[in-house]
Chains A and B, each alone.
Chain A
């Protein structure tokens, strides 16, 4: 089952995958960009036009101090302001499960960008299933470490859920990368992948 070893970028495997997907000299929008580490890296190493959106004030300050153009605000509102096809890639990393209207966000990502890169923790992972089955309580695992009452995650989705939604919406999945720890896997991704990264276009 184990395949290619994925090097980390800035301490994260999904960043490494995203950095491999993004082509040089493109326009990037990172939703929930945090302190702008990924955008700053892409600007420096891939010469991209990097923009971000972040709701946390202190993180926005850090990102702007890094020289990244970040908008301090809510992702849904931030997307609504932007014109069609303004970006080559719109990135949503580890935030889909936290958004109040995930489908609206995904649709708007594909309106604003030619392609969307979506990375999320897989709620179908076997440890999550077992935790729920055996404890009978909201699963608490390495991937989903929070108690139900203080979790930022409000929409739980699996790899198969995303595939089904893409099919239903008529989106093309150009790339799908499944991560188990630092390894890229392809066997039984809905059961074995911890994090999934999808490259989607309309």
Chain B
């Protein structure tokens, strides 16, 4: 399956902060065919560093989509049955408008003058995209990690537009621990002199800071067990541990494809996300939801531990919502949602099929 990223452009988007952006562009890909009733659309929501290229092989670069093992003909998100959409988030750096985009008023990149972004802002832009594709009601919204937060936001903000939601390894709000790790990443970037208050476009970017931020991130995505198995105490060179070499490699690789300012904006959006904000409780947040839910967590995920998924599940059950929940066994930590594909595929396949039958 070869794929191509497309671009949609809208006149304007209004942010939660009251700021506006005009125009706004969103990069997206689609797989499979939309049926005549437009009832088989599944929206994939990417995690922090993901992009619109969720599946297939990119026509130009030849790169494989980040959730290719879950999306495609006969796979969990079966593109023979469903029309699958994935878009890059607002404030991202992979085609959708973000701090690296050119401000038409100045002719320069927005940099830190880009408006602060929230998860609801990201979802609002996705809604504009699905509206423009003529889809009134999505069969499912789904994603892991930050994708799970967006899926929950979809179900809360647009209850009539979502038949089901599949939040995986996610949360309704970040814990102080999650905020803390994000803050270390942000400080690493901002401490790099090349960051220059965010004004580095056309110059040397804060590569060292961004690489360190990514190294911290990768530690939190793995587990003690998966790191022991993957690296042990093996030495790569005479005095460098395998794990050090791995983290440095991932850090330097990240610099080539990610914008440091997007890192700051998106992590802030994650940290500020709180479904209970302005409401008494999580239960109150779910007052108007109409969708079914399949919530999945993983035993070794200490970054988004199962208790956070359970908090969501219990609030939904308290409202007698239709919710399936499974904690899958895995040793891969938070990365499990990208790795433990066989079990997830079975769950998703059955859940989507019964949702599709029911609509």
Closest partner residue, chain A, to B329 (CB atom): A57
A70 to B292, CA, bound (A): 12
- Any A CB within 8 A of the CB of B192: no
For B349, list chain A residues within 8 Å (CB).
65
For A67, list chain B residues within 8 Å (CB).
350-351, 353-354, 357
Residue pair B317, A60 in contact (C-beta under 8 Å): no
Residue pair A70, B324 in contact (C-beta under 8 Å): yes
Closest partner residue, chain B, to A52 (CB atom): B324
Interface residues of B in 304-359 (CB under 8 A from A): 310, 313-314, 317-320, 322-329, 343, 346-347, 349-351, 353-354, 357
Given contacts A61-B328, A64-B351, A67-B354, contact A81 B314 (CB under 8 A): yes
> For B318, B324, B351, B354, which residue has the most chain A Cβ atoms within 10 angstroms?
B324
Given contacts A67-B354, A70-B324, A72-B327, contact A61 B318 (CB under 8 A): no
- Any B CB within 8 A of the CB of A66: yes
- Any A CB within 8 A of the CB of B294: yes
Residue pair A69, B346 in contact (C-beta under 8 Å): no
- Any B CB within 8 A of the CB of A103: no
- Any B CB within 8 A of the CB of A73: yes
A78 to B354, CA, bound (A): 23
Question: Interface size of A by Cβ–Cβ distance < 8 Å?
Answer: 20
- Any B CB within 8 A of the CB of A82: yes
Kindly supply a per-residue 1/0 record for chain A positions 60-88, scoring 1 wherever the CB is within 8 Å of any chain B CB and 0 otherwise. Answer: 11001111111111000010011100100
For A49, list chain B residues within 8 Å (CB).
322
Given contacts A61-B326, A61-B346, A67-B351, contact A81 B294 (CB under 8 A): no
Residue pair A65, B347 in contact (C-beta under 8 Å): yes
> For B320, B325, B329, which residue has the most chain A Cβ atoms within 10 angstroms?
B320
Residue pair A72, B319 in contact (C-beta under 8 Å): no
A200 to B24, CA, bound (A): 60
> For B310, B314, B317, B322, which residue has the most chain A Cβ atoms within 10 angstroms?
B317
Contact of A86 among B320, B324, B354 (CB under 8 A): B320
- How far does the Cβ of A16 sit from chain B's closest Cβ, in whole Å? 24
- Any B CB within 8 A of the CB of A51: yes
- How far does the Cβ of A158 sit from chain B's closest Cβ, in whole Å? 34
- How far does the Cβ of A82 sit from chain B's closest Cβ, in whole Å? 6
For B310, list chain A residues within 8 Å (CB).
73
For A69, list chain B residues within 8 Å (CB).
292, 322-324
Residue pair B328, A71 in contact (C-beta under 8 Å): no
Residue pair B326, A60 in contact (C-beta under 8 Å): yes
- How far does the Cβ of A62 sit from chain B's closest Cβ, in whole Å? 8
A130 to B346, CA, bound (A): 47
Residue pair A82, B320 in contact (C-beta under 8 Å): yes
For B320, list chain A residues within 8 Å (CB).
82-83, 86
Given contacts A61-B343, A64-B351, A65-B350, contact A71 B324 (CB under 8 A): yes
Contact of A71 among B325, B346, B353, B357 (CB under 8 A): B325
Closest partner residue, chain A, to B306 (CB atom): A72
- How far does the Cβ of A74 sit from chain B's closest Cβ, in whole Å? 11
For B292, list chain A residues within 8 Å (CB).
69
Closest partner residue, chain A, to B293 (CB atom): A69
Residue pair A82, B322 in contact (C-beta under 8 Å): no
Closest partner residue, chain B, to A51 (CB atom): B322
A61 to B328, CA, bound (A): 8
- How far does the Cβ of A87 sit from chain B's closest Cβ, in whole Å? 8
For B324, list chain A residues within 8 Å (CB).
64, 68-71
Kindly supply a per-residue 1/0 record for chain A positions 31-50, scoring 1 wherever the CB is within 8 Å of any chain B CB and 0 otherwise. Answer: 00000000000000000010
For B322, list chain A residues within 8 Å (CB).
49, 51, 69
Residue pair B354, A73 in contact (C-beta under 8 Å): no
Residue pair A83, B329 in contact (C-beta under 8 Å): no
A60 to B326, CA, bound (A): 7
Closest partner residue, chain A, to B344 (CB atom): A61
Given contacts A65-B347, A65-B349, A65-B350, contact A57 B328 (CB under 8 A): yes
Question: Ordered nearest first, which 4 A-B pairs have the shortest CB separation?
Answer: A67-B354, A65-B350, A69-B324, A81-B317
Would you mind naming 25 contact pairs between A and B with Cβ atoms under 8 Å apart?
A49-B322, A64-B294, A64-B324, A64-B346, A64-B347, A64-B350, A66-B354, A67-B353, A67-B357, A68-B324, A69-B292, A70-B324, A70-B326, A71-B324, A71-B325, A72-B326, A72-B327, A73-B310, A73-B325, A78-B317, A81-B314, A81-B317, A82-B317, A83-B319, A86-B320
Known contacts A81-B314, A83-B318; 19 further A-B pairs (Cβ under 8 A): A49-B322, A51-B322, A57-B327, A60-B326, A61-B328, A61-B346, A64-B294, A64-B326, A64-B346, A64-B347, A65-B350, A67-B351, A67-B357, A68-B324, A70-B324, A71-B325, A72-B327, A73-B325, A81-B318
Binding site for A on B (CB under 8 A): 292, 294, 310, 313-314, 317-320, 322-329, 343, 346-347, 349-351, 353-354, 357
